[in-house]
Chains A and B, each alone.
Chain A
Amino acid sequence: MKKVKKKSNGGMMFRVRNSRKLYVPFYLMIIVLIGVLSYIQYTGRPLNDMAFKMVLAFSIALIMATEIHRFGNLYEINDKSIIYTTGYFNILSKRVEFGAISDIDVIQGPWQRILGFGHITLFKFAEGPTLKNINRPKNFVDYLENKMVIARKEE
């Protein structure tokens, strides 16, 4: 389902970043621009140099920006806790032990439901951190709950 890394102590580490589906509108912008460019080339119409460079620069900048934005958030599940890391230069890392989680909510708007991603809010008897734009959030919650059950049995 997602990236699973084996830790040196034998445990499994589950790592997730923001879903790329979040950036679909931006990818659509690039597709539209490249489509218009292709049509211009196909029909042999004149292509303005500056317009071509602008499309190229905009597309590259947008792809880079979305990837950089994705790298700003990382969610990791290990055998005992879920770790939420945010930031680029100044990193904020929050650890939520499975024992502290009382409830989990999945929140999906219409756009998120269509594309299959959403937010997950962890409750620690009060509203806790929200993991934003997770791909297939229900599968993520199932995985998290399984981990929590295993962790509680071991305790």
Chain B
Amino acid sequence: MGEETNSGSVVRKKRKINWIVVLMGIFFFILAFLVYTSFFNSNSGQITGNVVKGGVLGGVSINVNLDPPESFKMDGNVDKLDMKIKGAFFIEGKKYDLDSSSIVMDNFNGKINFNDEKVIVEGKTSKIFIEGIPISGKLKVKFDNEYSYLKLGNLYLKSLDYDASGIVRLDDDKVVVNLNEEKFNVKKFYGDLEKRGSIFRLNGFVDEASAGLISVKSSDR
């Protein structure tokens, strides 16, 4: 196959490359990669970036203990969401009317908004524990409650920027900044966020952080 005789000599036929098929293959690969890393596994969003889940390849460690921002909004994946709330909430459209409850969710995907008093959570989760009692499956959840405690484990934040007071520790405590109503900014944060009363903590890794006049970039290290 692919050979023919021409005047006694054997000539091998040139195989033509079908460029359209090759380009379509590359296109679908890139599209799938883009969609997968952004919609289905956002934790791998930084595989080749500076922040890597678990280990760090060039990311700057950050640990902050500040006063909370007036409001906070995010839309994405959180590996573990832990909160203590007051009042009723909805799971799969069913109302759970409890005075106060401890809620833990695994693999939450959706919107989380909170301010000093209220937390609004709307999205999907694969497992939810209500006062330690588990419910599994792809569950739609909706909360709009007062809360006393909130922890988001392993979340990715594109950026966070507000005037804050408190302590910012960067790069394994090599840089410690004490802020007093000064600019606090992080870009590409990956880690844990905790809010308890007037305490707001971030613990993880960032691509870029600035606190007051101090600025640290992972690319500069």
Contacts and interface: CB of A to CB of B under 8 A. Distances in A.
Say which size band chain A's interface belongs to. 20 to 34
A58 B26 contact: yes
Nearest to A43: B75
Contacts, number: 68
B23 A62 contact: yes
A33 B31 contact: yes
A150 interface: no
A45 B23 contact: no
A5 B27 CA distance: 39
Contacts of A46: 37-38, 42, 45-46, 76, 156, 158
Contacts of B49: 48-50
A33 B47 CA distance: 20
B74 A44 contact: yes
Interface residues of B, number: 24
B101 interface: no
Contacts of A60: none
Contact of A44 (B23, B34, B47, B76): B76
Interface in B13-64: 20, 23, 26-27, 30-31, 33-35, 37-39, 42, 44-49
B38 A45 contact: yes
A68 to B, nearest CB: 12
Contact of A55 (B34, B39, B74, B156): B34
Interface of B: 20, 23, 26-27, 30-31, 33-35, 37-39, 42, 44-49, 74-76, 156, 158
Interface of A: 25-26, 29, 32-33, 36-37, 40, 43-51, 54-55, 58, 62
